[in-house]
Amino acid sequence: MKTAEVVELRGCNIMLMSLAAWGLDQFNPVPDRKTLLKIAAEDGLNPTKKGGGWYVARKIEYKDLPKNLYFDGSRFRYRNPQTGERTWFPIETTKHEAVEASIHLNAKLAPPISLVARVMGTPNFSEFSGEWLKRQSTKSKSTRTQAKYTERALSKAFAGPITAVSLKNISDHLSKQTVHMQRHHRAALVEIYRIALARGAVEDNLPERTERIKNITKKRPRLTMEQYQTTHSQAPEWLQIAMDFALYSLQRQGDILKLKYEDIECGYIHLIQEKTKSPVKIAIGLKLQEVVSRSKRTDIHSRFIVHKRNRNFPMKTHIAKSVLQEGWRKAVKGIADPYPTFHEIRSLGITMYRDQGLDPQALAGHATERMTDNYDQEIRYEEAGTL
């Protein structure tokens, strides 16, 4: 508590502490002033306006109470520093009993780590989470974006010295997340603590001691050929071209949208896949050639194979992923509930190629055959002889 933030009222056995200083000492993050005044009044601190600022007062006989213990004039009350929940002690509780109980509760719920950290120079959690975020710079754009949001959420949840974070704090934080976000946050916390552990800031990787999140089994609706044909019939021309190109080339939507006519050379499409960074040389068969020819016959002049005119910018013909997904959603709506995503065309194409005895692994850009098997919709039986 800073000296400048404490005022003694002459002639009164009352010490005043500025509302802002009291809030900073008690809460993280600090609530707004209206909420602070309400909490102070509930805790019997008698908020007082003096010299243009608000102060809270505690009677001299109770100024030595431990942190989080309050007296409202008749009963002692303890505020849980982790949840903010207030609990009244029985009315017959003496000051000595209330102080002793609060000391034990503070030791479990709010160890005085801030003063220890100040002397020892313990770094904040954000220093290590920031270092972790820097190490994600070599990852893909989508991974970096996810990491940025994850780091922001974790830094807010665990603001302050990293040694002040308990296993229960981490467990409680993870339990509030969705299953999908629990996996992201736990994995990030484990890596952040590894950095802190290597630098001697902590002695244990607490997140590793939390329960590991089980693998999520995705239940995604598959796209049948009948659904594909129905959607195709009611889709606009540019979307039909995108659908057919995806079906016969097995490329991801991001790669399809960036392809230009100049990428076609000597009967092949030369492509560096966006996700894997793998160069792929795609032979243009009869079906794919027919799709490219239809694309050239549209009344829109464009460099892109899949294109449409932008109403706001007529010279712009490139299609963003969001536009493709919205167009697909409108075309497929009502065919299935929940409806399959555009990405399921890739799955349908892999099944189609295998039905014709062709291996789609290289075309799909998969590192292993097992990955390609995940997209195949058919159960294929192998013949086994008997005696």
Percent pLDDT > 70 in the chain is: 80
Higher pLDDT, 122 or 54: 54
pLDDT at site 9: 43
pLDDT at 300 over 70: yes
Lowest mean pLDDT among 53-57, 227-231, 266-270: 53-57
What integer is the mean pLDDT of 133-148? 88
- Residue 218, pLDDT score: 61
Sequence-distant (≥ 6) Cβ neighbours of residue 68 within 8 angstroms: 26, 78, 79, 80, 81, 102, 105, 106, 109, 110
Residue that wins the pLDDT comparison between 38 and 97:
97
Residue pair 130/168 in contact (Cβ under 8 Å)? The answer is no
- pLDDT for 363 equals 66
Top-confidence residue, 224 or 117: 224
Domain ranges in the chain are 3-117, 125-209, 225-373
pLDDT digits (tens, 9 = 90+) for 278-292: 888 888 889 999 999
Residues 329-334: what's their mean pLDDT? 88
Q: Which residues of 120-133 are buried (b: 16+ CB within 10 A; e: fewer)?
A: eebebbbbbbeebb
What is the pTM for the complete model shown?
0.49
Q: How far apart, in Å, are the Cα atoms of 22 and each of 34, 45, 105, 236?
A: 14, 11, 20, 63
Could you tell me the sign of the dihedral formed by the alpha carbons of 138, 144, 150, 154, in that order? Answer: positive
DSSP helix/strand/coil, 103: helix
Residue 161 confidence (pLDDT):
86
Mean pLDDT in residue range 210-215: 80
pLDDT at 347: 87
368 band by pLDDT with thresholds 50, 70 and 90: low
* Tokens (6 digits) for 260: 């230009």
Q: Which residue has the higher pLDDT, 162 or 385?
A: 162
With a pLDDT cut of 90, the percent of the chain lying above it is 29
pLDDT at 46 over 60: yes
Tell whether the model's pLDDT for residue 53 goes beyond 90: no
pLDDT (mean) for 92-101: 88
**How does the average pLDDT of the chain come out, rounded?**
80
Highest mean pLDDT among 11-20, 65-74, 277-286, 299-308: 299-308
The CATH fold of domain 125-209 = DNA polymerase; domain 1 (1.10.150)
Q: What is the pLDDT of residue 299?
A: 87
Note whether 100 and 106 are within 8 A (CB).
Answer: no
* 305 pLDDT tier (thresholds 50, 70, 90): very high
Q: What are the tens digits of pLDDT across the range 155-202? A: 998 988 888 888 888 999 999 888 888 989 999 999 999 999 998 888
Answer for the pair 65, 25: CB distance below 8 angstroms, yes or no: no
Tens-place pLDDT, residues 144-158 = 889 999 999 999 989
Q: Tell me which of 44-58, 67-81, 246-260, 344-358 is least confident.
A: 44-58
CB neighbours of residue 368 within 10 Å: 9
pLDDT at 4: 38
Average of pLDDT values for 21-30? 73
Distance CA 243, CA 247 (A): 6
User: Which band of pLDDT confidence, cut at 50, 70 and 90, is reported for residue 295?
Assistant: very high
Query: Which class in CATH covers the domain with range 225-373?
Result: mainly alpha
Between residues 254 and 373, the one the model is more confident about? 254
Contact 274, 258 (CB under 8 A): yes
The answer to whether 125-209 and 225-373 have equal CATH topology is no
Residue 244 has pLDDT above 80, yes or no: yes
Greater pLDDT, 291 or 40: 291
Locate the DSSP E strands across 21-120: 48-50, 53-59, 69-71, 76-79, 86-88
The pLDDT, as a whole number, for residue 116 is 52
